[in-house]
Structure 1
Amino acid sequence: MPQLNPEFFAPQLVWLAITFTILYFLMARIVLPRISGVLENREQRIQSDLEKAEKLKAEADEVLAAYNKAQADARAQAQAELQKAAAAIAAEAAKREEAFAATLAERGAEAEQRIAATKTAAMAELRTIATDVAGAVMTKLTDTKVPPAQIEAAVDSAIGARS
């Protein structure tokens, strides 16, 4: 093999040095700066994406906080409206109960007046009926006619004694 022949070692080492130097300068001046640029662009893009993600996350957190606050405010407002409605309903019910109680009291008073009038009328008729019955009983029992004025006086004294 010619590579392993010691007389070819010197030219091979020279060409090795020349090739290594050329490849080194090509890599150092052309290829590695391009690769480095691509890596830096990639790192910058990743960094900007991370910053965007952080900004979006912060915005999302703000929106979530605003949503939660709005929801809490809406709940509080709904609760206040519910309490207002309950108070209005209770007030309306109280008014209706009061009106119903007043109507019942009025009807009760009217009924009491009718009862009192009926009682008075009944008592007035009772005097007349009692006088007629007493006169009829006296006539049947004693076969005598008692004067109506005397019967009325006896009935009046009996009614007065009871009252």
Structure 2
Amino acid sequence: MFVTEAFAQDGETTAHQPADAAASAHGETIHADRAHEPGFPPFNPEFYPSQLLWLAITFGVFYWLLKTVIMPRIGGILENRRDRIALDLEAAERMRSDADEAKAAYEQELAEARSRAHSIAHEAKESAREDAEAERKRLDGELDEKLDAAQARIAEVKRSALSEVDGIARDVTDTILREVASIEASQDEIAGAVAEAGR
């Protein structure tokens, strides 16, 4: 609340007046003071030139700060980020090319390993087949030898048995002729008869 000079003097002269008179004097002073108030300073045309001056100064300082301090820093940050992104992209490209080369080398080694494995398996199969064939031939040879030996032995046994059969037949024939038929025959006649019967 503003206290003016007039109100202060009025207050002294009306200190002994009744309350109504003091209140009415006070109200008149407030209305008089309000009538003399200039209003809100920014809207007062009297201050327009100084406001425009300060606006120009503030804008100039802000523009100078923006141009010399803020924008170079922002530009530097953007440049650093651009360089970092470029370096990251180069590194990623190098890593991708390295990965492609490693993949190609791996696929080539895998193909060579498969080829070697196929060759080894084929050689092992051929070797096993050759070994099996050699073992079969060896066993066939052994079996043929054993068969030939067995046939020779059988023939020998057969010859031996036949020679014994002839002797037994001669003896039996001689005994039958002498004891059953009471016929006396020579050994040559009996051997000839047995040989004739065996044919």
TM-score (norm 1): 0.92
**Matched positions, count:** 160
Mean alpha-carbon deviation: is it higher for 95-104 or for 140-149?
140-149
What secondary structure sits across from 1:3 in the alignment? helix
Residue of structure 2 in register with 1:24 after alignment? 63
Residue of structure 1 in register with 2:178 after alignment? 139
Residue of structure 1 in register with 2:168 after alignment? 129
Are 1:116 and 2:155 matched, yes or no? Answer: yes
CA distance in 1, matches of 2:186, 2:164: 19
Which structure has the highest helix share of the two? Answer: 1
Q: Gaps (5+ residues) in structure 2? A: 1-39
Are 1:103 and 2:107 matched, yes or no? Answer: no
Residue of structure 2 in register with 1:92 after alignment? 131
CA distance in 1, matches of 2:97, 2:134: 55
Are 1:71 and 2:110 matched, yes or no? Answer: yes
RMSD of equivalent CA atoms:
1.3
Residue of structure 2 in register with 1:44 after alignment? 83
Structure 1 or 2, whichever has the larger Rg, is: 2
Q: Gaps (5+ residues) in structure 1? A: none
TM-score (norm 2): 0.76
Residue of structure 1 in register with 2:119 after alignment? 80
Kindly state the Cα deviation for residue 62 of structure 1 after the two structures are TM-superposed. 1.1
Structure number with the bigger relative contact order (C-alpha 8 A, sep ≥ 6) is 1
Kindly state the Cα deviation for residue 29 of structure 1 after the two structures are TM-superposed. 2.2
